[in-house]
Amino acid sequence: MSPTTPTVPLDQEINPWEAQSARFDFAAQKLNLDEGLWKLLRSPSREIIVHFPVTMDDGRIEMFTGFRVQHNIARGPCKGGIRYAPDVTLDEVRALASWMTWKCAVVNIPFGGAKGGVICDPHKMSKGELERMTRRYTSEIIDFIGPERDVPAPDVNTNDQTMAWIMDTYSMHMRQTVTSVVTGKPLNIGGSRGRVEATGRGVMVVAIESLRYLNIPVEGARVIIQGFGNVGSNAARLMMEAGFKVVGIAEKDGGLYNANGIDIHQLIEYKYRNESILGFRNAEAMPSEELMMSECDLLIPAATENVITSRNAANVKARIIVEGANGPTTAVADEILADKRVFVVPDILSNAGGVTASYFEWVQDRQGYFWKEAIVNEQLESILRDSFEDVVRYSEAHAVNNRIAAYMLAIDRVAFTIKQRGIYA
């Protein structure tokens, strides 16, 4: 059985739920998973759709649609981000919630998966409108979230301020301050040191482990990164400081290339001042699609879903792909990359630094005791190194690629917990 076939129409190929389901089915078959557990784990346990009004700055009442999907709670409370975007769909949120279950299981932290989103264009909304929308959305899903139920976090177009609003709204309803209801908060209200850089740091850690596994020197290894937001910029900076040579940065409005390496500190400062990487003098401009298909040792897609598909996978020249984003590679593209012997580190492992640090924040909030950043980073790196080793060992033992190995490992851990707990009836 193959997770999908090259004849799948593009709209189906890039559907995140279809991609997640295809990979789950293939991994479950390889595990000889019990049919009942297969059915149980294939679908989310709860899907919440809310439609709610928000008063806009000009006095109009605008209706918004929000989602919260909870995939599984066998190993602990649900965990997952909330994104704001005009193209948020239930299928996307459903897939992301499932990926969160597998991600938490791969790094062996006691959470299940969830994800949320609101259909809106946050770039066209004022701060006041965003706050009112966030608070109303929180109130609509408040019966389903909480420190022991479901713990949201930032995602696309949300940040620590968004989490502060959610935490405050929840706390007002509970009549007490509950910092552990969300993670990714500002430091002074229960956030964790090291959380902002955690996903990028995790990408760096598994990139180093990949090079070591393949006996490629870290020093001077050429890296191209697609996306220069939180994940991409922090990964780029940390990797440059670790000895990698970051030769390319691709953004949606264009890319930069310098064979001798880009000074990421300068580029971060330049983007902060100009709100774009375009025009940076110490690198040449290059179309992003062309840049992503250029020669390099590591390609890191760190922005959005479906950037490596059946249409461009054959042109990938990287030796290693480390997925900083969720779902950047389609299932059809996986087959093409496997034929090219590209070493792919899947998203449910390589970008798990964020949820791992979120787990640390949740633990610190519940303890009322906060760790030094060095401890956060040390624990994060230890967990990701161990998880990388678990996945590649699974890959070798079962003769499957890293993605299917990660799925198999995660599914096995969740299924084992369900069997231990039993089915309540």
Tokens 């066998």 locate to 74
Which of 408, 412, 403 lies closest to 331 in space, CA to CA?
403
CA pseudo-torsion sign 277, 283, 285, 289:
negative
Are 71 and 101 in contact, with CB atoms under 8 Å apart? yes
Indicate the pairing of strand 222-226 with strand 296-301: parallel
> Hey, which residues does 150 pair with through a beta bridge?
78, 146
Ramachandran class of 193: left when φ > 0, alpha when ψ lies in -120 to 50, beta otherwise: beta
Are 221 and 350 in contact, with CB atoms under 8 Å apart? no
Which one of 103, 115, 245, 271 is the catalytic residue? 115
Amino acid occupying residue 53: P
Are 199 and 81 in contact, with CB atoms under 8 Å apart? no
Report in angstroms the alpha-carbon separations of 170 from 18, 81, 279, 365.
Answer: 34, 16, 44, 15
E strand or H helix at 69: strand 61-70
Which residues, 6 or more positions from 374, have their beta carbon under 8 angstroms from its beta carbon?
none
For 144, which DSSP code?
A: G
Tokens 């006041």 locate to 128
Are 318 and 342 in contact, with CB atoms under 8 Å apart? yes
To the query of whether residue 419 is one of the catalytic residues in this protein, the response is: no
How many Å apart are CA 273 and CA 153, to the nearest integer?
Answer: 27
In the chain, what is the greatest distance between 2 CA atoms, to the nearest angstrom? 65
Tell me the residue length of the chain.
425
How many Å apart are CA 337 and CA 380, to the nearest integer?
Answer: 29
Are 267 and 237 in contact, with CB atoms under 8 Å apart? no
Tokens 């696309």 locate to 156
How many Å apart are CA 24 and CA 34, to the nearest integer?
Answer: 13
Catalytic residues: 115
